[in-house]
């Protein structure tokens, strides 16, 4: 329920919390009006409301109160904790239940020891506790522990992180989630919601980059990368240095050499042309690509990285072998990036002609591709992304998708410097286009990374 309340609070984000309290008074008045209508207490109007109307109005009172609480707390999880605490107090006041021991009120949380390539760890200046902590927070009803940890890192620091985990046995047709590095319970001293305990799923993650982005200012005042030595001199809970030291050692033990030259990587895709392209790029690194197709879960997300990561985790859970999954999106610049990661669905619904008409509304017709590749093995996950150059959308489809094309969108996208879509380029121009793309492609990034990992392990 609090996920939905949180969504409503964000939807009404431009309404001050104080106004939401006034809105609550309005909803109470409407409930009173419905009660009068049910019992015909207004003789002039007679019975003008049903019992169902009354129940709906009372539900609106509860929803509006929840949105007001979420507006003041800026955190649906905290809002839920407020209601739980208050309900327990009221129940105890009525001698219906004892006041619970604060140490026994437990909330599920997830946090992350996020490591940089040099094993520095990410800490955030936590407002409520006054400590430097690992990023983390409450788990929403709709997500797993690992998903919550990754989300909290992104929300608090703007950093994308990938969970490192050891091999997990697959149990088809079940979805197997990453196993936490530790599950720990600790007391959360909370002057607002009351003291309670956190059962925390602690994950070890690698950061996609060390650039700190937009901070979650209602929760933290800053974020920084620190070494283990520096951490011991900072205001952190006493257990953090030991946990970090153990995590660094665990990751070092988890590291395995990259696949030896000639050992196949499994690329999971329904597109043979995409697998052939990957094989061509990775052959330069002595890596073979084995193409396979699986019926994978595919989430609808505006992030191509999230889509690729979800599918790759599903594939690895089933195959228990090093896998790679690529996903791409088509972004029309003047439409705010639409259709983006939803390009496949948009093309299916609108067709190429529909996308051309939409691009024509922008004036410039500018568009580009973005690609995400996720590699997973027993040592963890690694994501690579690439943003292509901005070309233009043709005024009509070329009408003959090139043999070996990844996507029908090649039939309408004109690369910069060209006068026709990719599928209509001459063989010479097509080869030049592919060569210009090769150096920044996600497959080249993967090859460079695997080579570096293998050399570091030797």
User: What residues act catalytically?
Assistant: 327
Alpha carbons 74 and 6: distance in angstroms, whole number: 8
Enter the tokens of residue 113: 């020891």
Alpha carbons 282 and 438: distance in angstroms, whole number: 11
Alpha carbons 189 and 206: distance in angstroms, whole number: 29
Alpha carbons 381 and 160: distance in angstroms, whole number: 12
Residue 75: how many other CB atoms lie within 10 Å: 21
Alpha carbons 447 and 121: distance in angstroms, whole number: 26
Q: What is the DSSP letter of 139?
A: P
What are the residues facing 202 on neighbouring strands? 111, 182
Enter the tokens of residue 189: 């001293």
DSSP state string for 97-143: SPPPPGGG-EEEEEEEEEE-TT--EEEEEETTT-SEE-SEEEPPTTS
DSSP state string for 230-297: HHTTSS--TTHHHHHHHHHHHHHHH--PPPPTTPEEEEE-S-HHHHHHHHHHHHTTT-EEEEE-----
Residue 81: phi and psi, rounded to 5, are -65, -35
CB under 8 Å, gap of 24 or more: what pairs does 12-18 form? 12/67, 12/71, 15/71, 16/71, 17/68, 17/71, 17/72
Residue 377: phi and psi, rounded to 5, are -140, -165
Alpha carbons 79 and 73: distance in angstroms, whole number: 6
Q: What is the DSSP letter of 133?
A: E
Alpha carbons 295 and 297: distance in angstroms, whole number: 7
Tell me the CB-side half-sphere exposure of residue 101, using CA atoms within 13 A: 3
């Amino acid at each position: 329920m609090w996920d939905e309340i949180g969504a409503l609070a964000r939807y009404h984000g431009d309404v001050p919390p104080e106004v939401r309290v006034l809105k609550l008074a309005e909803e109470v008045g409407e409930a009173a009006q419905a009660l009068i209508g049910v019992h015909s207490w207004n003789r002039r109007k007679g019975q003008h409301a049903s019992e169902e109307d009354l129940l709906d109005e009372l539900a609106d009172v509860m929803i509006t109160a929840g949105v007001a609480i979420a507006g003041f707390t800026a955190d649906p999880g905290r809002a839920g904790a407020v209601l739980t605490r208050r309900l327990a107090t009221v129940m105890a006041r009525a001698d219906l239940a004892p006041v619970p021991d604060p140490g026994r009120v437990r909330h599920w949380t997830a946090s992350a020891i996020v490591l940089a390539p040099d094993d520095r760890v990410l800490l955030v200046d936590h407002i409520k506790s006054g400590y430097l902590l690992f990023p983390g927070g409450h788990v929403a009803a709709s997500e797993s522990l690992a998903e919550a940890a990754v989300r909290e890192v992104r929300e608090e620091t703007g950093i994308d992180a990938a969970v490192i985990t050891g091999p997990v046995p697959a149990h088809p047709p079940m979805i197997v989630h990453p196993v936490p590095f530790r599950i720990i319970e600790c007391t959360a001293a909370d002057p607002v919601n009351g003291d309670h305990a956190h059962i925390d799923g602690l994950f070890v993650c690698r950061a996609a980059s060390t650039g700190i982005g937009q901070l979650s200012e209602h929760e933290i005042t800053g974020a920084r990368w620190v070494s283990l030595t520096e951490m011991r001199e900072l205001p952190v809970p006493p257990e953090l240095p030991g946990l970090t030291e153990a995590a660094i050692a665990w990751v070092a033990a988890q590291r395995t050499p990259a696949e030896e030259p000639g050992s196949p990587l499994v690329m999971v895709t329904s597109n043979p042309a995409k697998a052939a392209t990957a094989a061509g790029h990775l052959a330069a690194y002595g890596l073979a690509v084995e193409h396979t197709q699986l019926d994978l879960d595919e989430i609808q997300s505006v992030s191509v990285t999230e889509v690729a990561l979800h599918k790759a985790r599903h594939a690895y859970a089933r195959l228990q072998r090093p896998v790679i999954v690529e996903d791409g999106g088509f972004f029309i610049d003047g439409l705010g990036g639409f259709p983006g990661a939803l390009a496949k669905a948009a093309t299916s619904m609108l067709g190429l002609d529909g996308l051309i008409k939409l691009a024509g509304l922008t004036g410039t017709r500018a568009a580009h591709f973005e690609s995400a590749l996720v590699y997973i093995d027993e040592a963890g996950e690694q994501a690579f992304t690439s943003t292509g150059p901005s070309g233009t959308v043709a005024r009509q489809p070329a009408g003959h998708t090139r043999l070996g094309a990844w996507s029908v969108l090649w039939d309408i996208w004109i690369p910069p410097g060209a006068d026709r879509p990719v599928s209509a380029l001459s063989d010479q121009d097509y080869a030049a286009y592919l060569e210009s793309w090769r150096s920044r492609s996600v497959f080249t990034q993967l090859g460079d990374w695997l080579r570096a990992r293998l050399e570091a392990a030797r």
